[in-house]
Structure 1
Amino acid sequence: MAYETILVERDAGRATVTLNRPEKLNAMTGETFVELHDAFREFADEDLDVVTIRGAGDHFSAGVDMAGVPEWAQQKPIAVRDNLEVVHDALRTIEGLDVPIVAAIDGYALGGGLELTLACDIRVASHRSKFGLPEANMGLAMDLGGAQKLPGMIGEGMTKWLIMTGKNIDAQRAFDVGLVEQVAAEGEFDAMVADLEDTLAEKPTYVLGIAKRQVHSARPSNLDEAMNQAIHHALTAYQEDETQRRVTEFLDRRAPAQTFRAPPSTARGRRPG
């Protein structure tokens, strides 16, 4: 299948998915999430040992593209909800694949980009990576799972710090708090990712798939409910005048390539199913 915002490569039982909007710092659109959903649905029918998600160019992803933000305030809440549910469906499809998934993070992993890495099993960061959740700076609510999943990974306090301050942390701090599992020294990132892929590919894939299910079964039983509530929280924040003012000012200050989040519309009206 041909994709517009991602690249999918397969080689000897391994697949690499590359977010492919480097001119926009790989900011993700609604189409990106539809394509991620489609790609991972295809992977479910293939004999794969490992899947790696990475970004083209110098960054993993600066988040969700906000270029369409001037229009979302005029959308009906149900339309925004439907668009966010498409994104949630894509993230669930990624998480549910019975194959180990590696997030190879170089450069920015911000906002929705960071939340995409949470749908992966193991996160490897380059020494120059930066992580952050800048939504609060624009009066936006978390809506892609970060607030629900991060407490179990990095603790409640650090989760609140990331969300409430909107500040970035570097790769070493991300490793120290448990946000990433490995950090590569300068010049060693690709080799570290390849070594991890080799290690995972040596194991029986069905055993690693079972391990994923076992680990996920220990998550809070209300995780899906909390994710659904996040959509409604996001809708509430979207309607605030202060949010609209902050977003407008943000867009005036920054190029679209540096934007982070908006409720992404689903291109061509397609929805995962």
Structure 2
Amino acid sequence: MSVSELEYAGAALAEAAARAEKRIGALPEPASRSPEQRAVADAVHEGVRALRAGFMDEHADAVYDRLTEHRSRYLRLAELVQAAADAFPGLCPTVAQMDDELSRPQAAKEGREIDQGIFLRAVLRSSVSGPHLMDAMLRPTDRALSLLPEFTRTGVVEMEAVRLERRDGVARLTMCRDDCLNAEDERQVDDMETAVDLALLDPSVRVGLLRGGVMSHPRYRGRRVFSAGINLKRISSGGISLVGFLLRRELGYIHKIFRGLLDDRPGAGGWRARLTDKPWVAAVDTFAIGGGMQLLLVFDHVIAASDSYLSLPAAEEGIVPGMANFRLTRFGGPRLARQIVLRGRRVRAAEPDAATLVDEVVEPEAMDAAIERALAALDSDAVLANRRMLNLADEPVDALRAYAAEFALQQALRIHGEDVIDKVGRFGARSS
């Protein structure tokens, strides 16, 4: 494709997007629109989004090459959508538009993240650009690299949402949002990715462990809790974003736990292995709800207390449960997956079906001993090599990429769906 073709198509999109913005700007704010005005806004958005999708269908690789200097630069998701907004006006929301959008409650947003979803879907489903973006998200974050000397020296990093401690060759990650039952938000995603990066970067770490800490929440005071899933109150207030949470979580630290870290520092991996990966154990106390249950699907060994349970309340919340729809049938089969995802079935650790989702069920007082046994069993070079090959066979990266491409758009549409806004709004009202 010639440069002039791309420039011509980009100019036509920019002109159409500017006209659409002018029409949207003439309407009241989203929360104040009448049904008729909402219909007008929907029609305007629909028209220009069809143009964006068509533009990306035709020019995704040319656009991505422009933004990454022919794939010589690795841009993470947030950097990529910002670069797209700057280089191709009207393709993605500008920084100012997104700052305004993210300052609003979910019910008062324009839905601009849908435009980011259109863009990212096209990039991810490209067999040329998609793998490069997946690699960009597997690289260590700047924050982790800055903390690595401290962690290497002390073996401890304390963050708001996660405490990381290295002991006896084990990186012990403790989720410590004790006031909200480890409900996930963007702070937790950032802290988790930092902790996972540090565990993978530190050569003295051989195995990783993830467990929930002791809670101060009134209903579970003094008990360990794994995770209550996504923070619905934060969705309602507008604090859960497509790029900063929903996609970063899946293509960042969760994929790193499963696949490993792309570390191209001198002497890091060399010719033996492109990725630095390690075995991981998860320990579930009390419950693993929503995103907490999603996490378990990438771990090598899962231990659950006998009084705990797992659930994916996707139908209740109205959103897509991350990559669980992609992974869950591999564990429990299609019937159990549909019962959990579509009907909200709660699986208790002590019931037979839990055997497909967890490796061990032990009494709560036996959790510590079971964890140490599992960590010791996974601490070998043979385990590391074989888990790498099992993961490659179970989940080829291109299959994940194809799912992630469609997830980018479908989740953007879902978080701006009227039913989701209504549900999380009612939850926020109950919690306030």
TM superposition score normalised by structure 1: 0.83
Q: Percent identity?
A: 22
Pick the aligned partner of 1:37 from 172, 193, 196. 193
1:199-218 alignment, distance < 5 Å? 199-201=377-379, 204=380, 206-218=381-393
Q: Which residue of 1 aligns with 2:329?
A: 151
The match for 1:56 is 213
The answer as to whether partners of 1:175 and 1:182 remain within 8 angstroms in 2 is: no
Aligned pairs (5 A) from 1:133-172: 133-142=312-321, 144-172=322-350
Residue 250 (structure 1) shift? 2.3
Of 227, 240, 246, the match for 1:84:
246
Unpaired segments ≥5 residues, structure 1: 257-273
**Partner residue in 2 for 1:123:** 302
Q: In the alignment, residue 49 of structure 1 is paired with which amino acid?
A: R
Query: Residue deviations 1:125-168, cap 9 Å, x none?
Result: 001111000121122222x2111111111111111100111131
Cα drift, residue 188 of structure 1: 1.2
* One-letter identity of the residue aligned with 1:47: S
Q: Deviations over 1:223-247 (max 9, x none)?
A: 2211232232111222221221122
The one-letter amino acid of 2:256's match is: T
- Alpha carbons of 1:180 and 1:244: their partners in 2 closer, same or farther (altered >3 Å)? same
The answer as to 2:399 corresponding to 1:236 is no
Distance in 2, Cα, partners of 1:251 & 1:48: 40
Query: C-alpha separation between the residues in 2 aligned to 1:33 and 1:239?
Result: 21
Aligned to 1:188: 366
Contact 1:174 1:180 in 2 (8 A): no
Q: Is the 8 A contact 2:176 2:182 kept in 1?
A: yes
How far apart are residue 186 of structure 1 and its match? 4.1
Find the partner of 2:403 among 226, 233, 238: 226
| 2:226 partner letter | F
Which stretches in structure 2 are left out of the alignment for 5+ residues? 1-146, 148-157, 215-223, 261-276
- Deviates most, 220-229 or 14-23: 220-229
- TM-score of the pair, normalised by structure 2: 0.54
| Distance across 2 between alignment mates of 1:176 and 1:65 | 25
Higher-helix-fraction structure: 2
Pick from 113, 127, 131 the counterpart of residue 292 of structure 2. 113
Equivalent residue, structure 1, for 2:55: none
Secondary structure of 2:365's partner? coil
Deviation at 1:91, TM superposition (A): 0.9
Q: Is the 8 A contact 2:232 2:427 kept in 1?
A: no
The alignment of Structure 1 onto Structure 2 pairs a total of residues equal to 247
In the TM superposition, what is the alpha-carbon distance from 1:40 to its structure 2 partner?
1.9
> Partners in 2 of 1:67 and 1:137 — Cα distance?
14
Structure 1 window deviating more from structure 2 (102-111 vs 81-90): it is 81-90
Query: Within 1, Cα distance between the matches of 2:289 and 2:401?
Result: 23
What is aligned with 2:167?
A: 11
The aligned amino acid for 1:161 is: Q
Q: Is the 8 A contact 2:309 2:347 kept in 1?
A: yes
Kindly indicate whether the alpha-carbon contact (under 8 Å) linking 1:175 and 1:183 is maintained by their aligned counterparts in 2: no
Q: Whole-Å Cα distance in 1 between the matches of residues 412 and 400 of structure 2?
A: 19
SS of 1:17's partner is strand
Cα distance in 2, alignment partners of residues 69 and 33 from structure 1: 14
Deviation digits for residues 46-89 of structure 1 (CA, Å, limit 9, x no counterpart): 2222111000122100112223222439x9xxx62454221121
Aligned: 1:99 with 2:278: yes
Change (3 A) 1:64 1:19: same
Distance in 2, matches of 1:50 and 1:83, equals: 26
Report SS of the residue matched to 1:147. Answer: helix
Task: Choose 208-217 or 81-90, whichever is displaced more.
Answer: 81-90
